[in-house]
Structure 1
């Protein structure tokens, strides 16, 4: 009798089990270098379609050797040459590596693979006949703001004839710079090392899901006979976070409340500062006598230093996944870290540091399998961007936080930056603050950076069909030059995202949403439906500012020029756009749309990131006489809540349908063609359970996201967003409410503490709270 095989756990992002297979990414406008041995195979894959690739093939001595890959050059290597001429992503590293072979990249030739009509997922395979070095470049696309097609990344898959490493043997990530110290902390061990002020410490999880306890002591204080190390309690109290992260709340302190290290980068974002490094007692209490432990390992390394040994060391436990649950219990699970993930720290003073590779194999702390940790120390002269990593899918390569094209202007006005959707954005501006910025928008005008919105070009003969099959709106009714706000749902009717669709031409659309996954999902639907369409992300080609407020039209009319074939800028109606330029027919190209997220008359300007500072300067110069001010995320939140505008993760997620999120109007009634979620949405429309309502709270205490809403003991709703409205002089909130209590005038209570011990009286009111008929944005 056959025994059914058990389903295997899915663990995306961990080290692949096939050591002969290697995956690399070629970023647009950049190049990736891969060394091949005889009979190795390399597959060049165009995941998004329409992206050219350039392959330069070299012998180990730097000579051209295209025959070694069974091919011949067909063109100049434009990517390599541009890296030499103007630099680029990883340019210095690539040029230096090739220069060591004696190769001159400025004279490079290439074989071209793919073209602008290549379908998504196309691939081409090459086999190495001898040792060769292959340089794969992904040329930049044409400027999207001028009607071009954006470039996209390529994927390389190398299949080794003879694997260079054994099964599950990891490959260390490339150093971030030339390290001063570079060493491995073997599994179940610890090492001490000294770091000078200003130097950078990189703690790397080599194989993934491995904890590394970290100690650091002030060396000057040790010289004075004072032992001052990292203190988790002091750090949490001063930073207001469980553990510091890049940005404003980034420092670890000692118990003198002086900073010792600053977190510069973190590719995991999930650590522990609650507990001790593992101790002998922990294992003894679990019945494992004599088990090696981090605290004893640390003590063994402290011999050269005047640091008193401890039975249990309070450490910073990088990659350790712990939390306190709703019942105040301390819980442990497997780490979130993947192979090559790291934390990068900057020493604030001279330090004595210790790093461990935790030995715990009796619980999930190291995913039941302790492995090694790697440490690198870089000189203080190096410069690394502050960044948090995000992955669009669990097995995707991490992307570090970036700066928008407008960052040179916004950062000159404030240091209060937060990571939002993969970019650094201001929360508020110096000498202004959220309330002043808010009033500027309500009474005059404000400019805000919204570049992190994700943009996707939907191109090809089936572009309209794809959007018709994936959006809740009737896209076929959209005219050229028109914008429509829509929802994008899954099969159960839950919202994947909301966004706007721009129709640039019969077969050219642009979707602007909040989530990078939108592009992946749209490509999956195109493949499922067998459509001939290209979905190309253009976020890096189109950065945008919103100029909002009563004076916005007058301000922008001074700087935005439109050709006779376009709707004149002052005549743009609500949810319309024009292709435009700055100042005149030879000026910077723009897309000017009458859209916004403030509840006021307003516009958005889209431009290439390299032109962003000039666009900002022109708008600020024209707007200064009208009282134009920059506006950050804190003020934007106040504006959008007053205007009843929803936000992902607050008013909706993939369990909430558009009716529950308060945007049921985006589901076109009677839309004949099928679209994802159509049947589920019809059922939800007919049988609603919850809906979005407005609440007006009594008193001066605000409601926050997640606060429960009660009638008597029973919970009947949950607050999705809340704020204190400056213009209404009231505390207001958006609430997802059971329909039985959604009628205007219904009295409810917002629960605080445990939801029972403290209640704020509230009343269901009409929303949007401010300008409910939207006369101002229509004006």
Structure 2
């Protein structure tokens, strides 16, 4: 079994050392490993060029396969590992002997395997300092896989915290009842993976009075607005009195069933298995001592149960998505009597045909606090990673509680002091700041990097000048889009790709390997967070605080799709004239550690001009008005750039071949669908996925829609058959079943707002440009005495 253990070095004691079969040591961190005789430890660097040092923390060296490359001392190595406990260095410095596992400038995918000849405690460090925004020395992950000498099934990850009040194993096909105090945390762990666990909870105080108030499916669905049996979880679960009993804090799976019945005797009888063990009868037995009456079936939260509601409205099932060590963490909102099962089903895919154990831990809520989050995996084999906060989160969290888990980051939907409509008008009339740190960033470097990107995208990357940015599509061989994003040219052999999906970096890396290109693609998403400053006043605001050296453009000089290197409040930043609003705007890129101070400086500078934070809800309005496309809505892997409305990213002629060029040429010559703008008659709500009809025939689909405040009407982006894409064409949007209700719409020029993009192209007034030059000259003497300024000048 591939048990994932998720502890970071911090406890610093061998008794609590990580012991796993598959895990990640993140760049800038370190982890302890306890091996036994015969264990084989495979270590790989998937992105290349990441230092990896292994230290044996005992006098002997019982590891076969260690290279003969000395590593820096343990103290020095851990100094570059912010995630490591400093006491580790003092504890083991006198006995630790280290080796450097990989050579300098190691290629992506390099690996080696070690074998333990005796029990051994070792520490693996992946050192890496904070990356400056103009640099490309990002620390990256090291992957570790331990193949045990003997099977170690049934192991669970280390506790999330030491303050446990219950640590209990539920054997396969059984159930257990337990009590939980208000505020305590309940962790339900799938020990071996793909095993369902039904969960029940009762108000303990009401139960003591002889009243049964348990989790109620109808009330919960109604209050939370979630559909029956949907993937994922409700954030809170209620009883029939509308009183919340539990809330979901963390979920490493993301797919469960909510409130189908726990398996019943009747189900097995109807399948021809009378007398089969079942969760309902197991619950009845363990809850009897708490005074709970028996039932023929228990509505339950079915953790890890993979049920699917099909388009035909039928419910089916498949194997769970959960993997060994996956869990759900709940918080009790009142005193509870709980019951958990290990589902007994072995006659269908519900438990992958083989019931296994479930483990329950309860943590003292008075001593513990856990951040909320859902797990995301970069690839299907990656370690799950819980939702994280951007560097700007300390500031945004002080202004709102309305956050969305967007691609693994908590980003604000809107702000309490304004709201989406006010934020929208601030963007159109003044200026806003938007935390967009969830964008993925990749440092693409090496002698063949230009060849790699020239092969990867339709754009002619060779024409990019240093300091220039280009927007592009990333396409598969069949012409469908993998992603869209921007490419920054930092130097002759130095580029930065900013996009929406982690898979794009993996794809680029695989492309380099397939074509034998010497180029590294390294993920810097956790080293570079970004704040968009957008709106008519954005240039004035930033020009007053961005300091650049004479070698770099001032804000006033910065042209559309260019970037400059400088400082805000003495902190290094990259500022690009890019955005996602259709307004004059910029993006400020900085290290997460500097993000709060950068936010403060920008907000202070913008206060006289009414600078306002803006969330994702208002951002969706402005980007639809401006015709800016969004992955999963306006394009997907069966959509080519022309069908996504970004055909301008595909030149008719390019001197070099690129991925998907033949398919894209074929699609260009024989287009079937086109992205258009629609004006909607009336005020009916229109949404993504609504069908577009002419008569009974569906001829297209709405990809994005919004009520436009500035245009005073509902507008949409839609993909239509090319025969109907001419402006002025009248179509109908189908609601209900697509036939019973129709809403008239008209094809219009696309995009709806500022179609000639005059606002984003607006040049600076001459007076401001002159002032910018003067400020740059004055700043030169300050930067000349500062090492970080010197680095900026050489950028």
The answer to whether the 8 A contact 1:43-1:157 is kept is: yes
TM superposition shift of 1:773:
0.3
Q: Quick one: distance in 1 between partners of 2:665 and 2:70?
A: 57
Following superposition, the deviation at residue 108 of structure 1 comes to 5.3
Instruction: Report the equivalent of 2:596.
Output: 613
CA distance in 2, matches of 1:48, 1:300: 53
Q: Could you tell me which residue of structure 1 aligns to residue 513 of structure 2?
A: 527
Aligned residue in 2 for 1:9: none
Contact 2:69 2:100 in 1 (8 A): no
- Counterparts in 2 of 1:224-235, with a 5 A limit? 224-235=209-220
Cα distance change on mapping 1:715 and 1:247 into 2, 3 Å: closer
CA contact (8 A) 1:247 1:417 kept: no
1:156 aligned to 2:139? no
Contact 1:272 1:316 in 2 (8 A): yes
SS of the equivalent of 2:595 reads helix
Q: Which of the numbers 127, 136, 144 marks the counterpart of 1:139?
A: 127
Deviation string 1:318-347 (CA, Å, 9 cap, x unpaired) is 111223222222222222212111110000
Counterpart CA distance in 1 for 2:638 and 2:171 is 44
- Partners of 1:299 and 1:412 lie apart in 2 by 46
C-alpha distance in structure 2 between counterparts of 1:51 and 1:726, whole Å: 49
**Is 1:286 the equivalent of 2:271?**
yes
Give the equivalent residue in structure 1 for 2:726. 743
Partner of 1:778: 761
How is 1:629-708 mapped onto 2 (pairs within 5 angstroms)? 629-708=612-691
Q: Distance in 2 between matches of 1:392 and 1:496?
A: 14
Q: What is the alpha-carbon distance in structure 2 between the residues aligned to residue 105 and residue 224 of structure 1?
A: 60
Change (3 A) 1:67 1:399: closer
Alpha carbons 2:62, 2:118 under 8 Å: kept:
no
1:243 & 1:510 partners in 2: Cα distance? Answer: 43
Aligned-pair CA distance for 1:139: 0.3
Q: Does 2:104 align with 1:119?
A: no
- Please give the secondary structure, in 2, of the residue aligned with 1:431: coil
Can you give the 5+ residue segments of structure 1 that lack an aligned partner in the other structure?
1-11
Most deviating of 377-386 and 677-686 = 377-386
Distance 1:13 1:707, change over 3 A: farther
Counterpart contact for 1:190–1:298, Cα < 8 Å: yes
Alpha-carbon distance between aligned partners in 2 of 1:274 and 1:67, rounded to the nearest angstrom? 51
Matches within 5 A, 1:593-612: 593-612=576-595
Matched ranges for 1:488-527 at <5 A: 488-527=474-513
Partner deviation per Cα, 1:452-505 (whole Å, 9 max, x = no partner): 000000001001110000011110011000000000000100000000000000
Match in the other structure for 1:128: 116
CA contact (8 A) 1:244 1:252 kept: no
CA distance in 1 between partners of 2:493 and 2:681 (Å): 52
Instruction: For residue 39 of structure 1, report the CA deviation from its aligned partner.
Output: 4.8
Residue 306 of structure 1 pairs with residue 283 of structure 2:
no
Q: Check conservation: 1:248, 1:417, Cα contact below 8 A.
A: no
Task: Give the one of 430, 436, 441 matched to 1:455.
Answer: 441
Aligned counterpart in structure 2 of residue 717 of structure 1, from 692, 697, 700: 700
Classify 1:129/1:269 alpha carbon distance in 2 versus 1 (closer, same or farther; 3 Å).
closer
Assess if the C-alpha contact under 8 Å between 1:541 and 1:608 holds in 2: yes
Q: C-alpha displacement at 1:34, in angstroms?
A: 1.6
- Contact 2:432 / 2:535 at 8 angstroms: preserved in 1? yes
Contact 2:196–2:304, Cα closer than 8 Å, also in 1? yes
Counterpart among 129, 153, 158 of residue 174 in structure 1: 158
- Post-superposition Cα deviations, 1:108-140, rounded to whole Å, max 9, x if no partner, equal 553223354111122234443433211000001
Distance apart, 1:146 and its partner CA: 3.8
Retained in 2: the 8 A contact 1:242–1:273?
no
Q: Name structure 2 gaps, 5 residues minimum.
A: 5-18, 763-795
Query: Post-superposition shift, 1:77?
Result: 2.1
1:27 and 2:13 correspond = no
User: Is the Cα contact below 8 Å between 1:641 and 1:723 reproduced in 2?
Assistant: yes
Match of 1:58 in 2: 57
Aligned length: 745
Give secondary structure in 2 for the equivalent of 1:775. coil
The one of 199, 203, 209 equivalent to 2:184 is 199
Matched, 1:75 2:72: yes
Q: Which residue of 1 aligns with 2:349?
A: 364
| Counterpart position of 1:7 | none
Change (3 A) 1:44 1:283: closer
Q: CA deviation at 1:67?
A: 8.1
Residues 475, 340 of structure 1: CA spacing in aligned structure 2 closer, same or farther, 3 A cutoff? same
CA-CA distance at 1:53 after TM superposition = 1.0
Three-state SS of the structure 1 residue aligned to 2:288 is coil
User: Secondary structure, in 3 states, of the residue corresponding to 2:100?
Assistant: strand
Q: Higher mean Cα deviation, 763-772 or 272-281?
A: 272-281
Alpha-carbon distance change, 733 to 553 in structure 1, aligned in 2, over 3 angstroms: same
2:215 and 2:187 map into 1 onto residues whose CA distance is 17
Q: Is the 8 A contact 1:79 1:137 kept in 2?
A: no
For residues 601 and 546 of structure 1, the distance between their equivalents in structure 2, rounded to whole angstroms, comes to 11
Structure 2 contact 257–307 (Cα < 8 Å) conserved: yes
1:185 to 136, 152, 170: 170
What is the CA–CA distance in structure 1 between the aligned matches of 2:161 and 2:175, rounded to whole Å? 24
Counterpart for residue 37 of structure 1: 36
CA distance in 2, matches of 1:540, 1:503: 20
Contact kept, 8 Å, 2:56 with 2:96, in 1: the verdict is no
- Output the TM-score relative to the length of structure 1: 0.92
Q: Is the 8 A contact 1:445 1:547 kept in 2?
A: yes
CA distance in 2, matches of 1:278, 1:687: 53
